[in-house]
Amino acid sequence: MSKRVFFIGGGAVGAYTGGHMARAGVDVTLVDPWKEHVEKMRTEGLELRGVTPEETCTVKLKAMTPEEFQAIAKDKPVDIGIVSTKSYDTEWAVNLLVPALADDAFVVSLQNCINEDRIAAIVGKDRVAGCIASTISVELKAPGFVERSVPKRGDSYTVFRCGEYTGKESDRVRELVEWLKNVDSAKMTTNLMGERWSKLVINASHNGLSACTGYGSRDMAVLEKPRRLSIKLSGETIKVAKALGIELENIKGFTPDEWVAAADGDAETLARIEKTTIDSAQGRSSTGRPSMGQDIAKGRRTEIDYLNGLVVEKGKELGIPTPANEGIVAAVKLVESGKAPQDPKHIDGLV
């Protein structure tokens, strides 16, 4: 019998990933509370659109609401539960899964932030894996419609990095990696926390910045002020991660030390990183936005406390200053609360 994969959270990342896996023949079900989205997917299919022609398709796949999922939980239908919700819904998603898990099932975090500890507290560390989706840049545009704003990366960059929470190699993660290769490039890692923090560096440098200013991904790369601030945010996050003993991976083709050097004003390293950043923006859609920018635009709660807020929290514990991250947290909360509109002026004084 083929493995039964349930995504809890059928938003942009969950739907895009699950949709392409289903297209390749994997037994996928998306579980999401947005009833219009669920109905559209199961009656007309999930429309996927990308920069490259092969990504554009409509996929018929199974979809259901959480209430419908609860009704079948007693049958233990889940072999692999993939949590693709916002971080603040992690416990809800895992507790929804628990009664439905088959005896040898495991749970995978396909989320922006670092939630494996919280999942392990519910299901046990041996039933937890993580999957980082790096630079995937997808948006749920309408019920049953997801669009990706960057080209598939292929051999040039590994998008999906999957690993066991315990750091061991495993056949179950190898199998997941093979399925994900139908979506984009994928690999297994034994350094899950290093990959998580490396992804956090990217998210902390762009998500909050987009949320408070309204800038899209391309603007943040080609305009000097947000580009310089994103590098500064990266440097602060890397300093915190290294102080925690995290073994970071290279980030967008540069070593962690190079990012810190650029953030601290090394002109030669800064110039190299900026050139690569600007060049990479040429293939981007002008409308693409990080997930937190999408959240603000749609009036949704953000994950700021789990991204830049985590950097600030750990920085205080370690005695490491994080003024740029503190400024971004404050600005996002101001906009999120409705007390101020999105405005590039929010980052004045942070660079």
Q: Which residues have a Cβ under 8 Å from the Cβ of 268 and sit 6 or more positions away?
A: none
pLDDT digits (tens, 9 = 90+) for 282-306: 867 667 788 899 899 989 999 999 9
Q: Are 9 and 84 in contact (CB under 8 A)?
A: yes
Tell me: pLDDT of 279 over 70: yes
How far apart (Å, rounded) are the C-alpha atoms in residues 226 and 233? 10
Rounded mean pLDDT of 48-56? Answer: 89
Q: Where are the domains of the chain?
A: 4-190, 195-347
Alpha helices in the chain, H assignment, sequence order: 12-23, 35-44, 66-72, 90-97, 116-123, 171-180, 192-213, 217-222, 224-243, 256-263, 267-280, 291-297, 308-318, 323-336
Give the side-chain half-sphere CA count within 13 A for 27: 10
pLDDT in tens, 130-175: 999 988 889 999 999 999 988 887 777 899 999 999 999 999 999 9
What is the residue type of 209?
Answer: L
| Contact of 117 with 20, CB cutoff 8 Å | no
DSSP string across 56-95: -EEE--EEE-HHHHHHHGGG--EEEEEE-S-GGGHHHHHH
Q: How much is the pLDDT for 265?
A: 96
Question: For position 149, what pLDDT does the model report?
Answer: 87
Distance CA 33, CA 72 (A): 16
The mean of the pLDDT values for the chain is: 95
Residue 11 pLDDT > 80, yes or no?
Answer: yes
CATH number for the domain whose boundaries are 4-190: 3.40.50.720
Per-residue confidence (pLDDT) for residue 289, from 0 to 100: 85
pTM of this prediction exceeds 0.85: yes
Per-residue pLDDT at 52 exceeds 90: no
CATH topology of domain 195-347: N-(1-d-carboxylethyl)-l-norvaline Dehydrogenase; domain 2 (1.10.1040)
CA 68 – CA 350 distance, rounded (Å) = 47
pLDDT for 287 equals 74
pLDDT value at residue 1: 58
Strands 160-164 and 27-31 turn out to be unpaired
- pLDDT tens string 109-127: 999 999 999 999 999 999 9
* Residue 146, beta-bridge partner list: 48, 140
